[in-house]
Structure 1
Amino acid sequence: MAESKLRTQSMDFAVSIINLVKALKSQKESIISNQIGRSGTSIGANIREAQYAQSKADFISKLQIALKEASETGYWLELLYRTGYLEEAAYKKLDAACSSLRVMLIASLNTAKKNAGSPRP
């Protein structure tokens, strides 16, 4: 069930990021919008890839990439806020969603790493 919640929230977050990118592009901002568009949508893509991982190590690797992308996205969100492209309320909402994804990814990674050492029945 947690994995399904992770997939759902990462998709919802990607939709929010795409809408943010549209708004940024309408303001003629292209440097950060390109970066956050890639990292913010990559989170869910890597979570989806992990679903069909070839091995436990591959699964863990995909989730680690998703976590790195979430961390990068958090950076871009803060930069957009500090440069005035993102209002405080919008920043707090997106940052909370991004932080929630990071927490779920860390929990999933900890579980996967713990279970990676145990043999399958």
Structure 2
Amino acid sequence: MVNNLKERTKIFAHDCVKLSISLPNTFLGNHIKGQLIRSSTSVAANYRATCIAQSKKSFISKISIVIEEVDESHFWIEFIIDEGLIPEETCKSLLNEANQLTKIFISSRKTANLNANN
């Protein structure tokens, strides 16, 4: 499961970068490009850090960052749609993946919190 999620988060980052590159070269487009690239690549990088956390407390802290970054990525993809920069249909699979990853990571954090309290 860990390697699968490492790969999924990396693919998510790549797909968000590709989406970002297709944004218009405007002030808003360039701003969103930077934000989406930063947050989506952070999902992948921070998930890798989570995998080598040295304690439950560290794992919970790192997975919380992953959750924040994937949620931020979701926000920027929604914002792209809201602003009419890219059609919703083009973004649907990325929104779905962001939702799925968020659910997985929240579930992992809940499990870690339960195990940490036992």
Deviations 1:61-106 (A, max 9, x none): 1100000111111111111001111211122111001101101101
What TM-score comes out, normalization by structure 2 length?
A: 0.91
Alignment root-mean-square deviation, CA = 1.2
Partner residue, 2:56: 56
Per-residue deviation, residues 7-46 of structure 1 (Å, max 9, x unmatched): 221111011011112212xx20201111111011111111
Aligned: 1:90 with 2:102:
no
Q: Distance in 1 between matches of 2:62 and 2:115?
A: 16
Q: What is the aligned partner in structure 2 of residue 40 from structure 1?
A: 40
1:85 is paired with a residue whose SS is coil
Amino acid at match of 2:45: A
Structure 2 segments unaligned to the other structure (5+ residues):
none
Gapped regions of structure 1 (runs ≥ 5): none
Equivalent pairs: percent with the same residue? 34
Please give the TM-score of this superposition, normalised by the length of structure 1. Answer: 0.88
Equivalents in 1 of 2:96, 2:86: separation in Å? 14
User: CA 1:4–1:107 in structure 2 vs 1: closer, same or farther (change >3 Å)?
Assistant: farther
Q: Could you tell me how far apart the structure 2 residues matched to 1:117 and 1:8 are?
A: 30
